[in-house]
Amino acid sequence: MSLRINNGRVVDPQESTVRKTDLFLKDGKIVGIGSAPKGFKARQTLDATDHWILPGLIDCQARLRDPGEPEKANIESETEAAIKNGITSLCVPPDTQPPIDNSATVELIHHRNEMFGHQARVYPIGAITRGLAGEQLSNMASLRANGCIAFSNAKSPFASNLVQRRAMDYAAGQRSLVIIQPLDHDLLGNGCAHEGAIATRLGLPAIPEAAETAALAKDIELVAQTGARTHIGQLSCARSVDMVRRAKAKGLPITADCAMHQLFLTDHDIGDFDSNMFTIPPLRSQSDRDALREGVADGTIDCLCSDHQPHEVDAKLKPYPSAEPGISGLDTLLPLALRLVEEEVVSLPELIAKLTLNPALILGLPGGRIGIDEVADLIIVNPESHWICSASKFISKGKNTAFEGWDFHGSVTHTLVDGNIVYAA
């Protein structure tokens, strides 16, 4: 397959440039930029005039609910949502049912994506302990050999700090990436809202910042002890950003991300018990939100993710403390990201790097670059399109959005994976 894309504004996150040029694709690779290689003949041409050409987005945290929770979503529905929203790679946490702690589950996910998926790349993250029980280490070598890109215990606690240290030692020996979401489960308790005036006024069980920062302090110390390359996921508060910033300054092998909704919403958005705002970690204060944005701007936060958690309608109809946490984020990842550029938090190339190049480098994945011989995972975006967010129009099976009625700009017109057009609006 050979393809020419004409007159697009190519956003190159590696070079931090935006330039109008043509791209030439063949056999799944980018073979020419600006001019075609000798003997190139395009079988198809796309006109990208006044459109951006970006690397396909890499979502480093997205739950597809498959296997185990078909009432919420599945690989078929969520990979379709991904490609139609410009996400060409999805990294799946290990807390599926059953957990991703054995080769059979990894193979099942790959098999289901080949049979029912919509050509988005799906990358399983392996469970670092068996059954995510936090007690016995999983066979990381076998999981890695079968395609797991990193290891995590998701939101499940370790039985002890000693187990966590042994897990990180083992991962370091395997030269594998460890992904940690810092949560002190004793401090988390049955909380459902940020500890502050809003939780007090609404009478909701509170989650203190220390539920994250106390765990993060321990995690950073274990990184220093073990040398394990570690990615800290879903930061939510100002002190966490400062702790990661200081750890990086000391040269520790740490990277970090935050969920896109944390950059726009605060605990004030809970309103009158809107369960679509219930997340773990919770929506925090305005000052926390601002600190997260500063972390994005100065590079402390390397990646942005959807933290996609689709739910069936009933899961969010329960009283706020009993509702299931999480936001369906695939359909809003790109438009929210573009808002950060509109609001001058980051430049467009810097933003795209946090959605493409940086996760590719951290997780060891193809994509994230626009260069000769790079894989042709690309999206074409119309930056001038205007639309109103409506869950009823979501491609994802999960309609639990916190952004109903928001005014967005930017939409995907084409998605290419391995140089093949897998979506055209």
Catalytic residues: 307
Using left for φ > 0, alpha for ψ between -120 and 50, and beta otherwise, residue 25 falls in: beta
Measured in whole angstroms, the distance separating CA 3 from the mean position of its chain's CA atoms is: 29
Q: What is the dihedral of CA 343, 362, 127, 189, to 10 degrees?
A: -40
E-assigned strand segments in 184-333: 193-194, 206-207, 230-232, 254-259, 303-305
Amino acid at 311: H
Sign of the CA dihedral with 287 first, then 293, 298, and 299 last? positive
The gap from C-alpha 273 to its chain's centroid, in whole angstroms, comes to 26
User: Which tokens sit at 185?
Assistant: 């489960």
Distance CA 424, CA 362 (A): 30
Question: CA dist 362 to 174, 188, 229, 356, Å?
Answer: 16, 29, 9, 10
